[in-house]
Chain A
Amino acid sequence: MTIIEVSTGKKLPIQIVPVEMADYKSLVKSRYFFDWETEKNEEVYKLVIESDNSILGIISLERIPGEWRVHIRLLTVSKENKGSGKKYEKIIGNLIAHAAKIAVAEYGELACISLRPKTEIAQHYIDKYKMNITGITLSLIVPEILDLINQFDNNL
């Protein structure tokens, strides 16, 4: 999996690994937009460049086995990766693809990921990640969930 350095166009290999307790000290709202302390008991992953420890994005997940679904609870990039001046591209896509990989590994052909963005940004997720809309919930299932994984996971 890679992200792109906007200034050079260079592809950089990344890792998505579980957030450790010590990380929460640095996950402040001013840089990561939400209060991540509240997610301490959830399944939370961080996106880092392989050669660097700086956290560029975070995702919190809930596995719902009874519905063969992984729900994205909270998702963000770091402040310097927001908007037109962002340093790296593809952070959010990689994090969503990570959730998709967990869902497919767990539930196979029944796999589903879901999230609920605000109405004004839902269309962006529908267009960019080919998500389906049901009420206010966006979701990805087979075959689109497989396409997303293949799109972002260069190791596959």
Chain B
Amino acid sequence: MIQDVEYGVDSRYKNKKERESESIALMQARLEKMKHLPKEQIIKAKLLQLKLKMDNFLKEPENDNDNHFSKFLEIYIDAIYSQRSKFAKDINVTPVFLSQIINNHREPKEEFILKLMIHSEKVFKNVCDFHKKTWYQVYFQEKIAETMSSQDEWRPRIEKQVNLNELVEK
């Protein structure tokens, strides 16, 4: 009998009044419950949010000039640490080096991404599966998007340096 009930739900609000009164009651109940929400659960939610955002970026890459890698890195660190310098210490880099990466004044070197990969494995272990290639994928996806969206800038200069002396027949 219980299986029969699970075929569908029509939850649409009939009118504005109904919607508003339910919204208020729901918000009150949620706020009350959230008062008692442990810090670990808040961190888990932030990390899952980050993981979903990274997945969405990889599924539907945006051809823009935004710095997604550094933006995601910033969210990651701020979700876990009270101070970014503590994260820098944990992965054995200087706070200045970390700050330069976050602020896009320096490219992350391979060793930095490797450290980030291992750090993330440990952090996400009790939250959800976080694939070890995710940071790499985001980094390279961003590079591809950047390159494709800035063709007007680099193409004229590079094209001058490229010749085709051996014609390829159709």
Contact = CB atoms under 8 A, between A and B. Distances in A.
Interface of A: 33-34, 64, 67, 69, 71-77, 81-84, 86, 92, 101, 104-105, 107-112, 114-118, 120-121, 124-125, 128, 132, 134-137, 139, 141-143, 146, 149-150, 153, 155-156
B41 A75 contact: no
A156 B48 CA distance: 9
A111 B45 contact: yes
Interface in B1-32: 2-12, 22-23, 25-27, 29-30
B31 to A, nearest CB: 10
Given A33-B8, A73-B11, A74-B12, A137 B3 contact: no
Given A120-B5, A155-B129, A143 B49 contact: no
Interface string B45-79: 11011011100100000000000000000000000
A31 B53 CA distance: 34
A143 B3 contact: no
A77 B8 contact: yes
30 contacts: A69-B26, A71-B11, A72-B9, A73-B11, A77-B7, A81-B7, A82-B6, A92-B7, A104-B45, A108-B45, A108-B46, A108-B49, A111-B49, A117-B11, A121-B9, A128-B6, A134-B22, A134-B25, A135-B22, A136-B22, A139-B26, A141-B33, A141-B34, A142-B34, A142-B44, A142-B45, A143-B41, A146-B41, A146-B48, A153-B128
